[in-house]
Structures are given as structure tokens and as C-alpha cells.
Chain A
Amino acid sequence: MMAPHETGVDADFRQRVVETMESVLKQLLERDEPVTEDMRLMDELNVNSLLALELLLRLEEQLQIQINVETMDPDKMETVADLATFITANHRAL
């Protein structure tokens, strides 16, 4: 189990991931409406396989991190929240 201060750091970082994802997705999808955590990436936002990789790359660049994609199961990344939680737990700072 994580210590409370670690949880705090993770929660803060996760929030940053969510905010960055929302802004990147709006840009990638040329979307004016807000993107929220509960939205389904593929079914609702039409994020296809190729766009998903571009999203990851932009997140890496903007957050200055490297995501451990080798452990990512795309089938489990259903929503914006799922992906944000995965990235929070599976990245290293650059």
C-alpha cells in the first residue's frame, strides 16, 4: 500500500495526466465540447489505434515522461480515466 504522501503525489500527477489528455484529445479530435474522464475512448470519442499512439506520444512530450507501453493492454483502456490511471502507475520521468 502507498504511503499517504505518495498517494497525494500520484493523485496530483494523475490529475495532470487527465487535464493534459483532455486538452490533447480536444486538439486531436478537433472537438469543441469538453472531454471528461468517464468518456469511452474508442466507442465515444472514436480514438482508433493510430490516434491512440499519437495521443500517447503527445502526452509523453507534454508531461516529459516515458510511458511503459509494453505493459499496456489496449483492451483494458476503455475510458479516459482508465488510461490516466495506467499512465500514472506506469511511467518514468524524463
Chain B
Amino acid sequence: MTALDAVSVYLPTARLSVESVAEQLELSEMQVKLFRRFHGLSDVRYDPELSLSDLLLRAAAGLTELAGQRHRVRYVLWGRAFPVVVPYPVNPLHEVCRTLGLDHALSFTVTQQSCASALLAIDLAGRLLAGDPEPDALALVLTGEKGFTRDARLLPGMSLFSEGASACLVSATGDRDRLLAYACSQRGEFDKAGSESTEAFLREYWPTLAEVIRRALEQAGMDLAEIALVLPHNVNVVTWQRVCLLLEFPAERVLLDNVARNGHVFCTDAFANYQTAREHGRLRPGDRYLVAAVGAGDGATFAAMIFEH
């Protein structure tokens, strides 16, 4: 069964207040107030000095479990929100593989599901490992993104994005953080290039997210009440309050602590929230927890995974 053997996250240490980035992002005073009051977004993290490769390598550097196991890593997957992030022929994934001594691994990028691409990468890594003839093969799943443009940093009226990266060692038979279910709903009609309006997407957002969560629970043969903790994507606080109302799930069991201090870190939220949950003792052995992510913009996708810690 697919398992997360180890997780490491890197976030730029500098935090910028929403007020300090308002001019750069062309936010009105009212938009700033809305982000703070209802969306619970107050800080974002950028580091213009760090390249994409730097971000990925810093996350991987924290993965001490990788040492001595490099030869077992057969796959390196980069789950990413943006389809294109560097000019040809620059290839951060290959640079990272070379630096980490993972040239031998099959490496590729998973995208087209926006911020839900990381969950797809975990699922794919598990499937590749399950089909691999080597029983102790491992996969390294990376996430990491830079906010290159205003469009990349801002989802108007909805969210503010931050830079960051994660590295996750995945095995097919590990005994910790085992993947019990994965459900995904791709809504092509809401893709940025599609014809449906933002308002229609926002109206469908909560019920579709709730539906995909219910589907993951059904797949795992569980009731929502059995979920000890939800590790959300940090889109904003009000979205999760509404999803909780819809699911009749207590909002206190959704880890929203990082929304204010991290902003929405593209594909990295799930792993940063996992790390916070462990640091704060909010996951005990045997707990079942749910990870959810929504990809808006390029590749409208709703996804949920259930793990056992």
C-alpha cells in the first residue's frame, strides 16, 4: 500500500504582509481588508533570490531519510500547478536529480491539475512502485513553485499564493502514513481557458469539494466522523468554514493554522500542513486523516486523499 515514508518542507523565511504586497498585486484597500477579515490571509512568503531548483533542493535537503537510500529511488515526480515555469532548455527537475545523485531515476513532471497535481503525483508514484519489479523501490515526490507573475500570485477575491517546496519519499509497502483512498474530480468546464464564469466556478466550488471528499470516504469505507484531522489546501479560511457546514464537520478539526502565516503554497500546502500537524501533536498513530486540494485556473480539479498515520 502506498505510504509516505518521510516528508520535508521548505518555505522562505521572510514573511510579507498582505498590505506590503498590495501595490505590487494591485489590490485595493477593500481587497486587502477582505483577505484579512474573511479569507484569513495575512502573510505571504517570497524569496526572489531563490530559483526553482534552489527551492526544490532546500526541501530535499531536509529529507535526511534519503541518505543511503538514493539507489532505491526509481522515480522522481514533480507535482506542479503551472505547466510552464522555465524557458527551454532549463530543466530544474534534471538539475535537482543531478545534484541529489538521482540521475538513474525516471523523472518527470505532473501538471494540468493545478494545485491538485501533488496528490496526483503521490497516486502515480504509488502505482509506479506497485508495478515495479523491485519490491523496495522508492519514489521521490517533489512540489515547488515560484510566483513569477501577478496572475501566479493572486486568485482575485479568493487567495494569495506563496513560494515554497516539499520533498516526500514514497514507498509501495511502508507502514506509516498509508494511502487508503484517492478521489479526484476534473471539471474541465471551469478551466481558465474554458467558457464558464468565475462565479459559476465559485458556486460549484464547495459542493464539488464536499462531493469528492465523500467519494474518498466511500472508497476507504469510512464515515467522516472517523476522520481525526483534515489537512486542507490553504486557499482561504471562509472556504473551509463553508465546506465544514456542508459536510457537518467541525471546523476545529481542519488544520487552518497555516493559512494566515503561509498563504496558499500551490501544491505544497498538504505537506506543510502535515508537518505542522505532526509538530503540534495533532496526529496520533492510527489516526486517519484527509488531505484535500483544489486546482483552480489552468486545470480545474478537486481531489481528496485519506491516509492512516
Residue of A nearest to B37 (CB): A57
Knowing A48-B199, A49-B202, the reply to whether A74 touches B34 (Cβ < 8 A) is no
Contact partner of B245 (CB less than 8 A), chosen from A49, A50, A60, A73, is A73
- A70 with B38, Cβ < 8 A, contacts A49-B202, A49-B203, A53-B157 known: no
Chain A residues bordering chain B, tally (CB within 8 A): 14
Q: Does A69 contact B38, Cβ atoms closer than 8 Å?
A: yes
Task: Say if the beta carbon of A12 comes within 8 Å of chain B.
Answer: no
B33 is an interface residue with CB less than 8 A from chain A:
yes
Task: Give chain A residues whose Cβ lies under 8 Å from the Cβ of B34.
Answer: 53-54, 57
Q: What is the minimal beta-carbon distance from B242 to any residue of chain A, in angstroms?
A: 7
Instruction: Indicate whether B241 reaches chain A with its CB closer than 8 angstroms.
Output: yes
- Interface size of B in residues (CB-CB distance below 8 Å): 15
**A69 CA to B275 CA in the complex, in Å?**
29
Give the Cβ gap from B164 to chain A, nearest Cβ, in Å: 26
Interface string of A63-80 (1 = CB under 8 A from B): 000000111111000000
Residues of B within 8 A of A57 (CB): 30, 33-34, 37-38
B245 with A54: CB separation less than 8 A: no
Chain A positions within 8 Å of B157 at CB level: 49-50, 53
Q: Is the CB of A70 within 8 A of B251?
A: yes
Distance (Å) between the CB of B107 and the closest chain A CB? 40
Query: Which of B30, B33, B238 is in CB contact (< 8 Å) with A69?
Result: B238
Query: Are the CB atoms of B245 and A71 closer together than 8 Å?
Result: yes
Spell out B's residues near A (CB within 8 Å). 30, 33-34, 37-38, 156-157, 199, 202-203, 238, 241-242, 245, 251
